Structure 1
Amino acid sequence: MKDTPEILCIGSVLWDVIGRCDNPMRQGSDMPGRISRLPGGVAMNIAMALRRFGLTPALLSAVGRDVEGDALISACHARGLRTDLIYRSDDLPTDQYMAIEATNGLIAAIADAHSLEAAGAKILRPLENLMIPFTGAVALDGNLTLELLSQMARSPLLAQADLRVAPASPGKALRLMPFVQSGRGTLYVNLEEAGLLCQMQFDSSEIAASTLLERGAARAVVTDGGNPATVAAPDGTVTQTPPPVSVTRVTGAGDTFMAAHIAAELRGLAPDAALYEALNAAALYVAGETKI
């Protein structure tokens, strides 16, 4: 393939169904609000954010050849994303994600990425047609199976790539263990996910990020909501506090942070400047000041 993309986003591309309430909620609440359906999934969210930062990402994922899938591909095109590398399945439905959000944060969510998991290694076939080994940036999410992620952590196809990995949710955090064990890539996790990977509780992102490096991670970026976030690497650690904002949405905030950080570093910004830009981009998103 002559037109090699500058960055690949590998993982979930699906429909987000989000219910939002303008009041606090608790388990069992039945409240008025608004329900929206938007293109989503970790890989998709990262790709959309990267596009806003001036990059042209290509998606590697699985999308069904159904009405929902056709609409999703059209939505990708409308946002300037490359979809020619996506695996289109005739027998697997398009995945979806459902969440309930309120002013006190995320109340509950269910991610149905079964089609992506069932497609497995089929989504990676386009890599064989790219310039090998791929030397660009790769944003990878933990919605893939542990087996496939383990293969990718050691794959010669990605051996020279600038690999950035996120777990997608705390429930999938342990799927990132192959990247810790192999010392590959930059890990983007929150405090809870870092604790799951290290099998311990942390009081700060700085301790969590440093511990991940001690366990074998090549580089770790740990966030903690409105508390300080940390980027830890063998050559140094940077910790900064996000700007305070009023929370209007939660889903996609971590993906926006990751995309902004990747884009800043690809522009050559120093670690402190890149973290500053990422935290501010995420804050604007959470405050509802960034278009989806």
Structure 2
Amino acid sequence: MSGVSVVILGSANVDVIIELDRIPGPGETVLTDASDRGRGGKGNNQAIAAARAGAPTVFLGAVGADESGDFLLEAQREAGIDVTHVRRIEDAPSGTAYVMVDSRAENAIVVVAGANGQLLSLTDAEREVLRGADALLMQLEVPMATVLEAAAQTKRAGGYVVLNAAPYAELPDELIANLDLLMVNEHEAALAAGRSGTPEELAATIGERVPDVLITLGAAGSLLQRRGSDPVRINAPKVDAVDTTGAGDTFAGAYVAATVAGLPEQGRLEYAAAAAALAVQRPGAVASIPRADEIQDAVRRYFA
């Protein structure tokens, strides 16, 4: 397949968004009359973020042969994503995420995998797509065996392989060997490093196994550690957050789009940080993801 820039392998979910004053504790019932339905799933979010950020994007994933699947694919098509190879699963519903958002814009999420769990191996057509990718971005909301296979296929063909290790799981040596960049938040970084420490210390430890490490630090910014180079760290723009749901996915998709566009390290981080800063000022996951012209304007405002 020719003309491919970014391939996203991952999950697609319908989000049921529940707004609360506070997220309930164990055994507690909290009442609300504020709820909504949207599109989400880390793979879906990152694919739309990459496409809106300007990268030609192909999505590999699975949705149910149901109205929810139609709902998810409609947004991907609107973003300009190639959905030719998205599987429609007859005997499993589309994935669903229940997202609780409190008055401080913090969230808690429960995901029912549904069709995402049926992505057990790659087809020949999917392998062909991966062989044509400039970059592959994956997460861990689909079966690990497929993540392993996709990383190996892309690496053999010379593509740049990125794993956003969320939700965190132990990373097999076989997967580590095929990664160019591991992207994690600070909590995931501590798990990957097997220790606590500063972001710089965690990145150095992880960097013994992975060529490049990118740690997102929320409101504190992000840190990129490339093997053999000094770390690059930027501060996040100061904004008033409305909803942090999907902000990390927006950062990931925008970062990979900036990478295939050839931006330098600092520029990639600034582009991704500006995209995430715009996203947290809007409600929802997919609905909050900005477009390339908005991101470029925000880079000039936040980092000039």
- TM-score, length basis structure 2: 0.84
Determine the structure 2 residue equivalent to 1:136.
Answer: 134
Q: Secondary structure at the match of 1:163?
A: strand
Q: Give the deviation of 1:62 after TM superposition.
A: 0.8
CA distance in 2, matches of 1:266, 1:107: 31
- Shift of the 156–31 alpha-carbon distance from structure 1 to 2, 3 Å rule, reads closer
Q: Is the 8 A contact 2:152 2:178 kept in 1?
A: no
Determine the structure 2 residue equivalent to 1:6.
Answer: 5
CA distance in 2, matches of 1:219, 1:288: 31
Identity rate, percent: 24
Q: Which runs of 5+ in 2 are unaligned?
A: 290-304
Q: Secondary structure at the match of 2:207?
A: helix
Deviation readout 1:107-137 (Å, 9 max, x if unpaired)? 4211112422233114x4422344x733411
- Shift of the 165–201 alpha-carbon distance from structure 1 to 2, 3 Å rule, reads same
Determine the structure 2 residue equivalent to 1:230.
Answer: 223
Q: Give the deviation of 1:246 after TM superposition.
A: 1.8
The number of residues matched between the two structures is 283
Equivalent residue letter for 2:257: A
Determine the structure 1 residue equivalent to 2:81.
Answer: 81
- Shift of the 145–273 alpha-carbon distance from structure 1 to 2, 3 Å rule, reads same
- Shift of the 209–139 alpha-carbon distance from structure 1 to 2, 3 Å rule, reads same
Q: Is the 8 A contact 2:62 2:115 kept in 1?
A: yes
Q: Which runs of 5+ in 1 are unaligned?
A: none
Q: Give the deviation of 1:183 after TM superposition.
A: 5.2
Equivalent residue letter for 2:220: N
Deviation readout 1:139-182 (Å, 9 max, x if unpaired)? 1111122233333343467541111111232xx332476433x1
Q: Secondary structure at the match of 2:170?
A: helix
Determine the structure 2 residue equivalent to 1:188.
Answer: 183
Determine the structure 1 residue equivalent to 2:118.
Answer: 118
- Shift of the 136–44 alpha-carbon distance from structure 1 to 2, 3 Å rule, reads same
CA distance in 2, matches of 1:241, 1:57: 28
Mapping of residues 10-25 of structure 1, within 5 Å: 10-21=9-20, 23-25=21-23
Q: Give the deviation of 1:239 after TM superposition.
A: 1.0
Determine the structure 2 residue equivalent to 1:272.
Answer: 266
Q: Is the 8 A contact 1:143 1:167 kept in 2?
A: no
- TM-score, length basis structure 1: 0.87
Determine the structure 2 residue equivalent to 1:173.
Answer: 169
Mapping of residues 91-170 of structure 1, within 5 Å: 91-122=91-122, 124-130=123-129, 133-155=131-153, 159-169=157-167
Deviation readout 1:169-225 (Å, 9 max, x if unpaired)? 2xx332476433x152211100111111222223x32222121102x1121110122
**Which stretch shifts more, 3-12 or 81-90?**
3-12
Q: Secondary structure at the match of 2:119?
A: helix
Determine the structure 2 residue equivalent to 1:200.
Answer: 195
Equivalent residue letter for 2:19: R
